[in-house]
Copies of this chain bind each other. A is one copy, B any other.
């Protein structure tokens, strides 16, 4: 890991809520949760926003402690920080993901095959 991440105890509730309170970012988190364990690269989310804008949103998620971003080659592998979030805010991530799963208005990550293991 090269990029700056908060430690688990630096993760802050209002910031996490504010970061999740954006439809693009919520869609990213929902997708990461649906493929948990499989690190995603940024390109996977290109149907949610432009490359530049994605860089911005993914940085927000990382800085809030919601995701972990690992640099591998020219790629960034993005994962949910589930253990840290569960430790810090038990049940929060699960209820958000469950609620997001019901949300038909939320943008959807498309089905282009860009998974790391595809």
A interface residues (Cβ-Cβ under 8 A, vs B): 12-23, 26, 88-92, 94-96, 98-100, 103, 105-106
| Docked CA distance A94–B98 (Å) | 14
Find chain B residues with CB under 8 A from A26 CB.
13-14, 17
* Copies of this polypeptide in the complex: 2
Residue of B at shortest CB range from A25?
A: B14
Q: Is the CB of B18 within 8 A of A22?
A: yes
| Docked CA distance A94–B100 (Å) | 17
**How close is A10's CB to chain B, nearest CB, in angstroms?**
11
**How close is A61's CB to chain B, nearest CB, in angstroms?**
13
| Docked CA distance A89–B92 (Å) | 11
